[in-house]
């Protein structure tokens, strides 16, 4: 399989394909998890490097991604329709590598019916898993201006969060529920009077609503915590993030488990042992960015499990 896979009319260029799979340091008979299967770019290369006794579990909460994965005929591969934090139910020390490619896939962004993008009009949904939970449009029906502003500020790092929230509230009172992506983008543009060149005024608000409605940061934190129990000694954790909120969580998690912690209240007590060894940070090459501009913001962090789990 190639790095670019196609389903219907939507294509996806896998970011940091070789770099991520190289970082997993694949053992032919090992067991690996692709926590965000997407369109299978990383998974296909992992399977190429696995031997006949290796195993790969793909996880995705997007029904279209799962349907695509189910067309693969490989006894070494299985797919789960679940959020990736559910890997916590796997046996302890059973995994040699965990890969998480965070964010939204190109097919999700490019399909107007999913509501992730303001470039084309579509229903204001943004759910990764359309079988459960509220869409953004449904949440906005009853959300208070204060909670809307908090979400935009905290998850979008948007300095005009209050102004946007007030504009959304006015729009609801005057014309009713905001139902489509272009309606929301127009409301945001009316409230944001300045923006850095080349960036749409709605970018940060759309990011904020997507992260919030899918509980993306909470899910990431749970999956990272689960990785400590699941990874065998020498197992690799590889995470690709696309914005500062995700990367900060990954960076702090790896740093927090890559150093000994001494309880200064009990100086003679043994220190907490290292659980991870940080192996570095990688960004997309200039060549990849020129081919796939969406890779520009990608940051990959790699760590290795050091301590035998208790």
Mean pLDDT on 136-160: 97
Question: What is the mean pLDDT of the segment spanning 216-221?
Answer: 96
Global pTM reads 0.90
Q: Per-residue pLDDT for 84 more than 80?
A: yes
Spell out the domain ranges in the chain: 4-107+216-305, 130-213
**Looking at residue 132, what DSSP letter applies?**
S
Check if 4-107+216-305 and 130-213 are the same fold: no
pLDDT at site 261: 53
pLDDT in tens, 19-49: 999 999 999 999 999 999 999 999 999 999 9
Distances, alpha carbon 310 to alpha carbons 85, 224, 228, in Å:
21, 17, 10
Say if CB 100 and CB 79 are below 8 A apart: no
Q: What is the mean pLDDT of the chain?
A: 91
Distance separating alpha carbons of residues 213 and 207, to the nearest angstrom? 10
What's the pLDDT at 264?
56
Q: What is the pLDDT of residues 227-281, one digit of tens each?
A: 999 999 999 999 999 999 999 999 999 999 997 654 556 555 555 678 999 999 9
Quick one: 4-107+216-305 is in which CATH superfamily? Vaccinia Virus protein VP39 (3.40.50.150)
When pLDDT is cut at 50, 70 and 90, the band that residue 80 belongs to is very high
Q: How far is CA 185 from the centre of its chain?
A: 23
* Mean pLDDT (whole number) for 111-128: 95
Q: Is 270 helix (H, G, I), strand (E, B) or coil?
A: coil
Residue 196 confidence class, pLDDT cut points 50, 70, 90 = confident
- CA separation (Å) from 308 to 127, 231, 239, 262, 285? 37, 9, 21, 20, 35
Q: What is the CATH number of domain 130-213?
A: 1.10.150.170
| Residue-level pLDDT at 198 | 75
């Amino acid at each position: 399989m190639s790095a670019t896979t196609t389903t219907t009319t939507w294509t996806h260029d896998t970011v940091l394909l070789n770099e991520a799979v190289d970082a997993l340091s694949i053992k032919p008979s090992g067991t690996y998890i692709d926590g965000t299967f997407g369109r299978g770019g990383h998974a296909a290369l992992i399977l190429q490097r696995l031997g006949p006794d290796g195993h790969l579990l793909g996880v995705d909460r997007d029904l279209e991604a799962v349907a695509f994965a189910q067309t693969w005929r490989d006894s070494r591969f299985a797919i789960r329709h679940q959020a990736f934090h559910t890997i916590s139910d796997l046996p302890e020390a059973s995994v040699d590598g965990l890969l998480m490619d965070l964010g939204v896939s190109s097919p999700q962004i490019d399909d107007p019916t999913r509501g992730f993008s303001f470039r084309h009009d579509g229903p204001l949904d943004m759910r990764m898993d359309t079988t459960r939970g509220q869409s953004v449009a449904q949440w906005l029906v009853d959300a208070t201006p204060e909670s809307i502003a908090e979400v935009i500020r905290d998850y979008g790092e948007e300095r005009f969060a209050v102004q946007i929230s007030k504009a959304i509230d006015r729009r609801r009172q005057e014309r009713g529920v905001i139902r489509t992506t272009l309606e929301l983008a127009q409301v945001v543009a009316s409230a944001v009077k300045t923006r850095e060149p080349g960036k749409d005024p709605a970018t940060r608000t759309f990011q904020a609503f997507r992260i919030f409605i899918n509980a993306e940061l909470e899910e990431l934190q749970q999956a990272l915590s689960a990785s400590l129990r699941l990874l065998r000694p020498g197992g690799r954790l590889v995470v690709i993030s696309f914005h500062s909120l995700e990367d900060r969580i990954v960076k702090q998690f790896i740093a927090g488990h890559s150093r000994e912690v001494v309880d200064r209240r009990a100086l003679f007590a043994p220190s907490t042992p290292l659980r991870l060894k940080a192996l570095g940070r990688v960004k997309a090459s200039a060549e990849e960015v020129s081919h796939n501009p969406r890779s520009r913001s990608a940051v990959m962090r790699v760590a290795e499990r050091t301590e035998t789990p208790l």
